A and B are shown apart, each in its own frame.
Chain A
Amino acid sequence: MSERDELHGIAALLRAHAHAGVDPELDRVGQLELERRLALAAPRAVPRSRAWLAVAAATAAAAGVAFFVLEPHPISYEVHGGRSVGPYISAPALTPVTVSFSDGSSLAADPGARLRVDEARVAGARVLVERGRTTVHVEHHATSAWDFVAGPFDVRVTGTRFELAWDPTGEAVDLKLEEGSVEVRGPFAEAPIAVRAGQRFRADLASRSMTVIDSSAPSAASGASATLPSAAPAPAPSAANTPSPSPAEPSEPAISAHSEATAERPAASAVVTESWSALVARGQFETVVAKAGDRGASECENACSAADLKALADAARYTGRSALAESALMSLRRRFGATRDGRSAAFMLGRLNESRGAAAAAERWYETYLNELPAGELAAEALAGKMRTVLATAGRASAEPIAAEYLARYPNGVHSKTARDILASSARP
């Protein structure tokens, strides 16, 4: 046997290890992290003319080495009741594990949970919740900076108490806030979403939905729910194929002009007002709806900026006021139809109608979006929406070409299973 032959088994052993499959979730988290870094890096490009600054910074850093002993060190932690291998912490199947940090913060992971202390910082840490539920208590300090990552969602914390759970199989996150407030960054929202004490944030990758509800509310379908961008609220009991508000939405507020309020409003130049988009990003949906009410329904529809209309539509959707959301979206279409926001409004109108059970109207809006932005960021969702609504209104045979188109364009898309099911059942005799 030659030397090369003798090493063949060794090489095979190495190859099997090197190219063993990886947890798709781990891979996806890696890709999302890379894209996040790209997004963060973009505005931070340093012009070449400032290269001297980098040299100065490097010099300062070198000098800092001399003061190493004076530098603050990252927080440390101890694991009690579980297994810890480096930064990886696993709770036994039947008992919880606690992690105590040197700044007074602590984690309590439920039985079977998996955590990873990815980065220990001077005033916090970055913790990956890889599986199961963890109760978090972050001690508030002036410079506290904690991140908790669950799948593609990043929860940023300064001081608070909450429960965070990640189900890697169902790809669902559940955050229940007991004290303080946090910001959640995720793949379906451009801006961070503020979650406050007493609220619960849930997101589901499969249905691309995010929901903020009051913790005390019995379910996400209650009136306290605020469904974020792509979620579909529970359909109204009536399956009427009309775009008008259903009787299931009695809480629609009347947006009427209040002359007294308008008269008392301070001059715009005298105060710094927060944009409606910022208010929506902070979860202050009711404030946005109230502000729109202050301005008067028709006034806003005719005079609000595209950003304000979009924020109003979001706030209205999040608080279950679908008629108000539709009005804002239609205004966005009418006045800013050639802009990206205006075109994206077509998709949101599709979602709105689909959630009401108005499948035919929803199909038209999805079709409109696809015609206007065939490669838009919501094209996959719009095509899937069209597939669903055509299936509902015209049957399987009509949905088949749309399913085939979906699979051709997005073979690994979120809705590929639905598309395959449609094609498979059509193929059966």
Chain B
Amino acid sequence: MSKPPPFKLQAVPAPISRFPAERLSDAELVRAAAAGDGDAVGVVWQRYAPLVRGVLRGSLGPDHAIEDLLQEVFVGFLRGAKNIHEGAALRGYLVGVAVRLAALELRRRKVRRWVILTPTGIVPERSAPPADAEGRAALDALYRVLDGVSTRRRLAFVLRHVEGLEILDVASTLGISESTARRELERARTYVQKRGAREPALKPYLAGRVGGSA
């Protein structure tokens, strides 16, 4: 190794290393994001975008607007970060915003159906559709069934069965009582079971032949 050229380096005060944003707690991230810290916002995205995207996808089914709505959730977080007093509840906050936006989107779809902008109010999703035709048909059938239940009931079903939330958390996210959440879930299950039985593509799933081990 040849000798490097001499450098006259100035004496500088020992720099203080910044704590990596990815190791910050949710509460610390919220505070940093509220102060406009781009790194913190990036970490919040990496930590929670998959969860929020899952809530939106589960609630809405195949829809080209998922990524736009995901942006809306996080832009809402940017705007509201200063007002989040309990930073540790960030997960619940984001899920709550996603659920509210999903509810709005479901209502918009109903309006679209009423004015017949598209026959179903749904535009096929471009990202990550099931590779197999049967899976795609089953998914389409399932969301046709879910289109028949009220928005609140549908969201309760998704939060419980897709996100695995406890009844109390489902109630809290939807802003309803625990008993109402139980009742909505029960009605959603009954409807999905009965109406789903009429969809040929869903029969293997209802009989537990597909996906039973999941």
Are A26 and B75 in touch, CB under 8 angstroms? Answer: no
Interface centre among A18, A21, A85 (most CB of B within 10 A): A18
Taking the closest CB of chain B, its distance from the CB of A364, in whole angstroms, is: 5
Of A1, A5, A364, the contact of B4 (CB 8 Å cutoff): A364
Interface mask (B1-44 → A, CB under 8 Å = 1, otherwise 0):
11111010110100101100000000000000000101001100
A residues less than 8 Å from B55 (CB atoms): 18
* Stretch touching chain A among B103-111, B120-128, B170-178: B120-128
B192: Cβ under 8 A from any A Cβ: yes
Interface mask (A146-159 → B, CB under 8 Å = 1, otherwise 0):
00000000000000
Binding site secondary structure of chain A: helix
Known: A10-B192, A27-B49, A372-B12. A18 touches B162 (CB 8 A): yes
Interface residues of B in 154-209 (CB under 8 A from A): 158, 161-163, 189-190, 192-193, 196, 202, 204-209
A residues less than 8 Å from B209 (CB atoms): 9
Of B79, B126, B162, B204, the contact of A9 (CB 8 Å cutoff): B204
A74: Cβ under 8 A from any B Cβ: no
Taking the closest CB of chain A, its distance from the CB of B137, in whole angstroms, is: 11
A residues less than 8 Å from B15 (CB atoms): 372-375
Taking the closest CB of chain B, its distance from the CB of A56, in whole angstroms, is: 20
A residues less than 8 Å from B206 (CB atoms): 6-7, 9-10
Bound-state CA distance A206–B189 (Å) is 49
Question: Which range holds the interface residue count of chain B?
Answer: 35 or more
Interface mask (A4-33 → B, CB under 8 Å = 1, otherwise 0):
111111111111111111110011001101
Known: A14-B162, A38-B78. A22 touches B4 (CB 8 A): no
Taking the closest CB of chain A, its distance from the CB of B65, in whole angstroms, is: 8
Q: Which residue of A lies closest to B203 (CB)?
A: A9
Bound-state CA distance A381–B126 (Å) is 35
Bound-state CA distance A9–B138 (Å) is 11
Q: Which residue of B lies closest to A23 (CB)?
A: B127
A94: Cβ under 8 A from any B Cβ: no
A272: Cβ under 8 A from any B Cβ: no
Interface residues in A, total, Cβ within 8 A? 55
Bound-state CA distance A361–B3 (Å) is 9
Taking the closest CB of chain A, its distance from the CB of B139, in whole angstroms, is: 6
Q: Which residue of B lies closest to A119 (CB)?
A: B68
A42: Cβ under 8 A from any B Cβ: yes
A253: Cβ under 8 A from any B Cβ: no
Are B208 and A35 in touch, CB under 8 angstroms? Answer: no
B96: Cβ under 8 A from any A Cβ: no
Of B9, B64, B207, B210, the contact of A85 (CB 8 Å cutoff): B64
Are A363 and B4 in touch, CB under 8 angstroms? Answer: yes
A-B contact sample (4 more), CB < 8 A, given A9-B205, A360-B3 = A6-B208, A11-B162, A19-B50, A337-B12
**What are 23 A-B pairs with beta-carbon distances under 8 A?**
A3-B190, A5-B212, A6-B206, A6-B207, A7-B189, A9-B206, A11-B162, A12-B205, A13-B211, A16-B214, A17-B62, A18-B163, A23-B127, A26-B127, A34-B75, A35-B42, A38-B41, A39-B38, A360-B3, A374-B15, A374-B17, A375-B15, A394-B1
Interface residues of A (CB under 8 A from B): 1, 3-23, 26-27, 30-31, 33-35, 37-39, 41-42, 85-88, 241-243, 337-338, 343, 360-361, 363-364, 368, 372-375, 393-394
